[in-house]
Amino acid sequence: MPKGYWVSVYPHIDDPETFDVYNELAGRAVRAAGGRVLAGIGGRVNAHEAGIAERVVLIEFDSFEQAVAARASAAYQEALAELPVGFERDFRIVEGLD
């Protein structure tokens, strides 16, 4: 069964500390749903073409369905409510290759 991945890219962050509450709640929600952070905050990025190097987060789940369910979970919805006003991110759930 192919794995599922959350891929998040944040084009610009004025104040990273405004994400502290979200990061804590989201981390708990991801772990509770069986997710594993593979790359994330503070990791190095070498961006090319239209790539954005500000912040990239990659989270792996055992299946695409598990990744979708984690995003819809009450715990993650609570985390989303804590994102700063006016933030921008490109968030995708993608299915891995089997």
The conformation of residue 27, written as its DSSP 8-state character, comes to: H
pLDDT at res. 37 = 94
**pLDDT tens sequence across 3-56:** 999 999 888 777 888 889 999 999 999 999 999 999 987 778 888 988 877 788
* Phi-psi domain of 42 (left: phi exceeds 0; alpha: psi -120 through 50; beta: other): left
**What pTM did the predictor assign?**
0.89
CATH class, domain 4-95, is alpha beta
Q: Is the pLDDT of residue 77 over 90?
A: yes
